[in-house]
Amino acid sequence: MTEPLRPKTWPPDWPDITDPAVRAALAAVPRHLFVPPAQRADAYVDIAMPIGHGQTISQPYIVALMTQALSLTAESRVLEIGTGSGYQAAVLAEISRDVWSIETLPELAEQAAARLHALGYPVEVRTGDGCLGWPELAPFDAVIVTAVAQEVPPELVAQLADGGRLVIPLGEPGGDQRLWLIEKPAGDLTVRCLADVRFVPLITSCHTAATDQALAAIRRQLGESFASWRF
């Protein structure tokens, strides 16, 4: 199968995606190699696409929006939750040298790791529950979650460095969802809503009494405006 023709201007000229590094990263990553062969003709359409196992490759605009919100540099230590096809990880790796990714589904993790390796992206992928993070490699300057959760995973907040950023969609699977940027200046937490979104559910079994206590503390730190938006 021949390579699909990219548009003359790729990525599209989204007015709110202004970071040159993010635009260059999307231009560099061959998205058609991260979608199933039968769908490669649509690889450069600005839509999410199924990749099997009930998972999707995100819409390029959403990839750009989430990546830009992380304010990455070449030195940023980045953790991705939800490897999927590996496309978002490749975009991250175009900007930052140190990128790790966790995928719950072993088959997707294996495929993504092989794909990223073949394309020269030095991303380490492992299979596991992303809500637990990767504590032995923490702290991280940036954490990005690519599936919708109903609560902020406390372990991911705990693994943020001071000044770190967490981008995560929150809401009900198939229902209202919003994309949030949580920042950790000097150990405190601030929050900002970025957009209404639609993601597949985050697969996790991480829920304990300790988790509930940590969630309550996070809600107190984030304030009433965030806590009042029920998902």
What is the value of pTM for the model shown?
A: 0.90
Instruction: Count how many domains the chain has.
Output: 1
How do residues 4-20 score in pLDDT, each as one tens digit?
Answer: 667 888 999 999 999 99
Q: What is the mean pLDDT of residues 156-167?
A: 96
The reply to whether 124 falls in a domain is: yes
The reply to whether 13 falls in a domain is: no
The reply to whether 4 falls in a domain is: no
Range with the largest mean pLDDT of 91-95, 198-202, 208-212, 219-223 = 91-95
The reply to whether 3 falls in a domain is: no
pLDDT band at 163 (very low <50, low <70, confident <90, very high): very high
Query: Can you give the CATH number for the domain in which 50 is found?
Result: 3.40.50.150
The reply to whether 8 falls in a domain is: no
pLDDT of residue 101: 98
Expressed as residue numbers, the domain containing 86 is 20-227
Instruction: Enumerate the active-site residues.
Output: 58
Contact predicate 231/106, CB 8 Å: no
The reply to whether 85 falls in a domain is: yes
Q: Where are the beta strands (DSSP E) in 41-189?
A: 49-52, 55-57, 77-81, 98-103, 124-127, 140-145, 160-171, 177-184
How do residues 99-114 score in pLDDT, each as one tens digit?
Answer: 999 999 999 999 999 9
For the CA atoms of 174, 191, 165, 47, what is the dihedral angle to 10 degrees?
A: 30
How far apart (Å, rounded) are the C-alpha atoms in residues 92 and 228?
32
